[in-house]
Amino acid sequence: MDPLDPDRVRAAAARWVWVPVDATEVESDDYRLTHYTDYTSVQWSRTSRPLGEVLDEVVDHARAAGRPTLRWWVDERTVPADTDQQLVGLGLEEVERLVVLALPLSAELDVPDGVEVVEVTDRAGLELAGRIQAEVFDMSPPTPAQVEDMLAAVSRPESERLVRCYVAHVDGVPVASGGSTVDGDALRFWDGSCLPAYRGRGAYRALVARRIADARPTTADFALVKAVDDTSAPILTRLGFTPYGLQRCFSLSLRRAAGERSPGEGPTPRITAS
């Protein structure tokens, strides 16, 4: 396999921001944030303003939207460079690390016996995939509007289908799910998840192989994943994926305790991160 251009991979990762159909956003010169169902997320930040001032502003947006948790993503493009340290000093806690990984679509992966991967193109299949993802990631399942939006994408004619969703079955039991989106030269992998009781049976590997195989006739020539550093990232590395960067997430609970200071006023009492 020919090595991938790191700049090309990083550019594809940088333009990848998931915004559900029923989400709302705020974008300024300093940051972009998205109000998801369960939380508000700062997707990127590049600012010369005092970070405590920006945090207060972002918290106001999140509270106005009724979100109980703020999440803030940091990577090598974030400004200032010590944003991670400042966020910790302002009361946020690191809760997640995602490794940016990529693999050429020319890679061949064996599919384990006893695993069947089914592409889902109807509402029932999407809801099943959503339930698996919600259980694995401990989050709310897709909203009806999100299911309808996804249904319109996955039910397009085969030759026009850029978004696909799959469910993997082990011995006939639906145990894992994942999706993919063709974005120019990149094939984005998203929501890859496997129920804990069935891990180690090859379901995740089978999902990777099927998504790669189905994307070969498209414009994409490499698979792109943002994988949790201590769960899916090691699996993908063993399958041949190469790391190209790290994205870190910091979290702040917005449920005020008695006497709690505003985040921008400095370190807060210990909080429970989402």
Residue 102, beta-bridge partner list: 224, 242
Examine the pLDDT at 273 and tell me if it is beyond 50.
Answer: no
Between CA 250 and CA 7 the distance in angstroms is 26
Query: What integer pLDDT is reported at residue 259 of this predicted model?
Result: 39
Between CA 274 and CA 69 the distance in angstroms is 6
Q: Stretch 213-232: mean pLDDT, rounded? A: 95
Query: What integer pLDDT is reported at residue 54 of this predicted model?
Result: 98
Examine the pLDDT at 253 and tell me if it is beyond 80.
Answer: yes
Query: What integer pLDDT is reported at residue 106 of this predicted model?
Result: 95
What dihedral do alpha carbons 145, 148, 154, 156 form, nearest 10°?
Answer: -130
The predicted-structure confidence for 125-171, as pLDDT tens digits, reads as follows: 999 999 999 999 998 999 999 999 999 999 999 989 999 999 999 99
Q: Give the H or E element holding residue 60.
A: helix 51-64
Cβ contacts of residue 60 below 8 Å, gap of 6+?
Answer: none
Taken in order of first residue, the domains within the chain and their CATH numbers are: 6-98+247-265 (3.40.630), 107-220 (3.40.630.30)
If you search the block for the tokens 């169902």, which residue do you land on?
37
Q: Stretch 57-85: mean pLDDT, rounded? A: 97
pTM of the predicted protein model: 0.85
Alpha-carbon distance values, 18 to 27, 107, 132, 213 (Å):
14, 26, 19, 23
Query: What integer pLDDT is reported at residue 3 of this predicted model?
Result: 77
- Confidence category of residue 2, pLDDT binned at 50, 70, 90: low
Q: Is the peptide bond before 80 cis (omega within 30 degrees of 0)?
A: yes
Q: Stretch 206-217: mean pLDDT, rounded? A: 97
Query: What integer pLDDT is reported at residue 112 of this predicted model?
Result: 84
The DSSP bridge pattern shows strands 115-119 and 31-35 to be unpaired
